[in-house]
Amino acid sequence: MRLVDRHGRRVGHSSFTAPDPARLVELHRAMLIGRRFNQQAGTLARQGRLAVYPSSTGQEAAQVGGVLALSDQDWLFPTYRDSVALVAHGVDPVRTLTLFRGDWHCGYDPHRYRCAPQCTPLATNASHAVGLTYAARRKGRDVAALAMMGDGATSEGDAHEAYNFAAVWNTPVVFLVQNNHWAISVPLHRQTAAPTLAHKAVGYGMKGYHVDGNDAAAVYAVVSHALAEARAGGGPAIVEAVTYRVDPHTNADAPQRYRDPAEVEHWKERDPLIRSERLIRDEGLLGDAEETERALAAFGAEADAIADTVRERLAGAEELDPRSLFTDVYATVPPLLEQERAVLADELREV
């Protein structure tokens, strides 16, 4: 499924229509912010200011297109790869990086942002999305969820269990699978014998959508449609967004060991931002040439400003209080941990 090709030209589709011009512009703007954010975080990782950063450069359309399709009350269940999705979802960009900076495991309040902590054990948060939407329905609330995972994660048993629960309980969950072709060094063809990952939906009695994941308009349209259907009781769905991880798995990876740089170049030509910008220019979605230039420059400046803020706010060393290690293990601090806190305080006094 594709609505805009890599040259920015619209492609007709029998069941899906492209989002309206304002949405198309919004998708582009959010992708620009995402791209700059990825670059900034990558730089911070190289400088050692982040412990690690899994970049999603090249995957912005899949993340932004999926997230912008959510309604205000909906929840996001992201992975480590999905920082850009979090930013598009409205999470404070600096707090998005708390995990990777190594300050804490999750830097934001999930309830405030309707966004679960970024999940590293693969596919394990997908069933959480099923349970949360089940609970919301029980409480009479119209809440859907977008559960994100990678191509590799679909091999995990937890993925299969979540798909099945969602289908059997008919909970409004859309599983957005970003097929970026690699699970660290393992290519997709070693991961699955299915014709596509979207095909997996069939066995669970779900709908599966196979989407050009570098076409933000298509991802947005399909996820919106799948969410609306799921909300209306039509069942959950798998949306496979076909995209590509342009950067290494993380800054610690060595992709030259396992993939051909020509493959990366092939995908760079299909960059999601190139096509959305072309569409905007060719169709004059931001006005005439001069107005377009001005508006795009403003988006660029906004993205830069966000990246600058991230850099500045991460520049100083935040004082982390080691006593905080003991506070949120249980609802109240048990005696054993009170004792350990006192011992640690003694240790710290001695050094």
Partner 1 sequence: MAAAPGVSMGEALNRALHDAIEQDPDVLVYGEDVGPLGGVFRITDGLIGEFGPERVFDSPLAEAGIVGTAIGMAMYGLRPVVEMQFDAFAYPAFEQVVSHLAKMRNRTRGAVALPVVLRVPYGGGIGGVEHHSDSSEAYYTHTPGLRVVTPGTPADAYSMLREAVECDDPVVFLEPKRRYWSRQEVDLPVRTEPMATPVVRRPGTDATLVTYGPMVETALEAAETAAAEGRSLEVVDVRQLAPLDDGVVTASVRRTGRAVVVHEASVFGGYGAELAARIGERCFHYLEAPVLRVGGLDVPYPPPKLEHHHLPDANRVLAAVDRLQWESEWTDDGEGRVRP
Ligand X SMILES: Cc1ncc(C[n+]2csc(CCOP(=O)(O)OP(=O)(O)O)c2C)c(N)n1
| Contact mark string toward Mg ion, 125..164, x via CB under 5 A | -------------------------xx-------------
- Nearest-CA neighbor of 251 among 49, 31, 32? 49
User: Considering the complex, what minimum distance in angstroms separates the CB of residue 163 from ligand X?
Assistant: 15
Q: Rounded to the nearest 5 degrees, what angle is found at the Cα of 66, between the Cα atoms of 46 and 108? A: 55
Sort 171 into a burial class: Cβ within 10 Å, 0-12 / 13-18 / 19+. Answer: buried
One of 40, 63, 180, 276 touching ligand X (CB under 6 A): 180
- Nearest-CA neighbor of 90 among 72, 104, 106? 72
Q: Which is nearer to ligand X, 121 or 322 (CB)?
A: 121
Contact predicate 236/175, CB 8 Å = yes
Q: Does 265 bind partner 1 (CB under 8 A)?
A: no
Ranges within 309-328 binding partner 1 (CB under 8 A): 320, 322, 325-326
User: Considering the complex, what minimum distance in angstroms separates the CB of residue 57 from ligand X?
Assistant: 12
Residue 177 in tokens? 């699978």
Contact predicate 46/201, CB 8 Å = no
Residue 75 in tokens? 């929840």
Q: Does 347 bind partner 1 (CB under 8 A)?
A: yes
User: Considering the complex, what minimum distance in angstroms separates the CB of residue 274 from ligand X?
Assistant: 22
Residue 228 in tokens? 């609306």
Q: Which is nearer to ligand X, 150 or 213 (CB)?
A: 150
User: Considering the complex, what minimum distance in angstroms separates the CB of residue 187 from ligand X?
Assistant: 10
Q: Which is nearer to partner 1, 305 or 325 (CB)?
A: 325
CA 242 to chain centre: 14
Residue 187, Ramachandran bin (φ over 0: left; ψ between -120 and 50: alpha; else beta)? beta
- Region from 29-37, 118-126, 213-221, 294-302 binding partner 1, contact rule CB under 8 A: 118-126
Tell me the torsion sign for CA atoms 163, 81, 226, 8. Answer: negative
Q: Does 51 bind partner 1 (CB under 8 A)?
A: yes
Q: Which is nearer to ligand X, 82 or 277 (CB)?
A: 82
Identify what 287 binds: Mg ion, partner 1, ligand X, none; CB under 5 to 8 Å per kind.
none
How far apart, in whole angstroms, are the C-alpha atoms of residue 104 and residue 110?
14
Neighbours of 23 (CB within 10 A): 18
DSSP state of 319: P
- The SS3 call for residue 182 is strand
Q: Which is nearer to partner 1, 147 or 273 (CB)?
A: 147
User: Considering the complex, what minimum distance in angstroms separates the CB of residue 52 from ligand X?
Assistant: 11
How far apart, in whole angstroms, are the C-alpha atoms of residue 42 and residue 335?
42
Q: Does 180 bind Mg ion (CB under 5 A)?
A: yes
- The SS3 call for residue 60 is helix
- Region from 130-138, 149-157, 212-220, 264-272 binding partner 1, contact rule CB under 8 A: 149-157
φ and ψ at residue 239, rounded to 5 degrees: -110, 115
- Region from 38-46, 86-94, 145-153, 229-237 binding ligand X, contact rule CB under 6 A: 145-153
Please give the residue ranges that form the binding site for partner 1 (CB under 8 A). Answer: 51-52, 80, 99-105, 120-122, 152-153, 155-158, 183-186, 190-192, 252, 254, 257-258, 320, 322, 325-326, 329, 336-337, 340, 344, 347-348, 350-351
Contact positions toward ligand X, by CB under 6 A?
A: 81, 120-122, 150-153, 180, 182-184, 245, 249
